[in-house]
Structure 1
Amino acid sequence: MALLASAVIAVISRLGYLGIVLLMGIESACIPLPSEIIMPFSGYLVSQGTLTLGMVALAGAVGCLIGSWLAYAVGAWGGRPLIERYGKYMLISSHDLDLADRWFQRHGDITIFVGRLLPVIRTFIAFPAGVVRMSPWRFSVYTFLGSFLWCWGLAWIGMKLGEHWDTLGVYFHRFDGLIAGGLLIAIGLYVWRHLRQMRRA
C-alpha cells in the first residue's frame, strides 16, 4: 500500500489533472488501483491551492468513464461468447445470462449508479454491464454521475483532512473486507444452488 501511495503521489504531482484521469481510468478498467488513495491525495492538493475541487472531481469522473468503457468493451465483445462457451465449467448457464440480461434491462441504471459508489464493486461493475450489453448511452451517463459523486466525496474529505489525507484509506479498507466477505458468501450460495440442481438433474 505504501508503494502504491508513493506511485500515486508521484503521478499526480507530476501530471496534475491528467494524472488523476490516468489513475482513475486504470482503477475503473478492472485493475484494483485504490481510488481511496488517488482522490484523497488530490483533495489534499486542493487544500494546498494546487488544484480545484470541481476540476479534481471532473478529472476523476472522466478517468472512471474512460476505464469503464474499456472494461465494458471487453465484456461486450469477448465476455459473453467466452461465458456461453465455457461458462458451464464455472457453473454459469445460459439461463443465468438471461436472468442477468433481464436484471440489467430493468435495474441497470440504478445498479451502475450505486455500484459506482461502493468500494471493490465499483472497480468491476463495468464488465458485467458489457457482457449483458447494457445500453452504452445509459451505461455512460450513470457511470459518470456515480463516479463524479464518488470522486467529489473522496476529494472533499481529503481536502478537509489536509496533511492527514492518507488516514482515510484505513477506514475504507474495513468496508472492503465487509463487501468482499459478502461477495464470497453470495458466490458460495450460488455454487451450492447450482450443485444441488445438478444433483437433482
Structure 2
Amino acid sequence: MNYFTNLIFKHGIWAMFFIILIEYACFPISSEIVLPFSGAIASLQHINYFVILPVSVIAGLLGTSFCYTVGRVGGGALIDRLVKKFPKAGNGIQSSQEKFIKYGGFAVCIGRLIPLCRTYIAFIAGAAKQNPITFLICSFFGITVWNAVLIGLGFILHDKWSLVSTYYARYKDIILPLTVLIVLTIIVRARKKKSPEAETETK
C-alpha cells in the first residue's frame, strides 16, 4: 500500500485515477483506504472536491466494466472456476448471485455499497448477460454514492483520513444499512416524482 500512497503523493490526480480504476477492476486494494486517502490528498493539494469525485467515478466505471466484460466473455463457467480456485470467496460470490437473481439491475446499484458483493457483482452481471447500458447506469449510481461518501470524508478530515477506515471497520454494521436505506429512499422518491409526470403525459 505504501507504493500506492507514494504514487499518489508524486503524481496526484492521475495516480488517484489509476489506483481507483484497478481497485474497481478487483485488484486487491481496499477502497476504504484508497478513497479517503485520495480525498485527503486532493484537499491538501487544493484539488476541488467536484473535480476528484467525477474523476473517481469515471475510473470506477472503467474498472468495473473490465470485470463485467470478463464475466460476459467467461460466462457461468468463469464464476464456477472462481469459486473452485478461491473457496474463501465462495460465500461472497453466492451472496452476490442471490442478490442479482432477486433484484436484477437494482442489485448492481446496491451491491456497490456492500463488502464482498461489490467485488463480484460486475462478474455476475456480465455472466448473466445483463444489458451493458443498464449495468453502467446502475453502477454509476452505486459508485457515485460510495465514492462521494468516502472521498468526502477524507477531504474533510485531511491528515486524519485514516480514521475513516478505522471507524468504518468498527461501525460498518450500522453504516452500510443506513447508506443503503438512504439510497433506497432517494430512488423511491425519484420514482414517485416520475410517475405523476408520466401519467400527465399519457393524458
Deviations along 1:103-145, whole A, 9 cap, x unmatched?
7477222111111122332222111111101110010111122
Question: 1:33–1:24: structure 2 CA closer, same or farther, 3 Å change rule?
Answer: same
* Corresponding position: 1:120 with 2:113: no
Q: Distance in 2 between matches of 1:39 and 1:11?
A: 14
* Corresponding position: 1:43 with 2:39: yes
1:177, CA displacement in angstroms? 9.1
Contact 1:27–1:33, Cα closer than 8 Å, also in 2: yes
- Structure 1 residues without counterparts, runs of 5 or longer: 91-96, 179-201
Q: Distance in 2 between matches of 1:176 and 1:71?
A: 25
Q: What is the TM-score normalised by the length of structure 2?
A: 0.69
Q: What is the TM-score normalised by the length of structure 1?
A: 0.69
* AA in 2 matched with 1:40: P
- Structure 2 residues without counterparts, runs of 5 or longer: 88-93, 175-203
Contact 2:79–2:123, Cα closer than 8 Å, also in 1: no
**1:132 matched residue in structure 2:** 128
**2:138 matched residue in structure 1:** 142
**1:63 matched residue in structure 2:** 59
**2:9 matched residue in structure 1:** 13
Contact 1:29–1:124, Cα closer than 8 Å, also in 2: no
Q: Distance in 2 between matches of 1:83 and 1:120?
A: 14
Deviations along 1:3-49, whole A, 9 cap, x unmatched?
x1x22321222232222221111111122311111111122123324
* AA in 2 matched with 1:20: M
SS at match of 1:125: helix
Q: Distance in 2 between matches of 1:171 and 1:37?
A: 12
Question: 1:74–1:51: structure 2 CA closer, same or farther, 3 Å change rule?
Answer: same
Q: How many residues align?
A: 164
**1:152 matched residue in structure 2:** 148
Q: Distance in 1 between matches of 2:82 and 2:153?
A: 44
**1:34 matched residue in structure 2:** 30
Q: Distance in 1 between matches of 2:127 and 2:36?
A: 32
Name the Cα RMSD after superposition. 3.0
Q: Distance in 1 between matches of 2:57 and 2:29?
A: 15
Contact 2:108–2:121, Cα closer than 8 Å, also in 1: yes
**1:172 matched residue in structure 2:** 168
Q: Distance in 2 between matches of 1:120 and 1:148?
A: 18
Report the identity percentage: 30
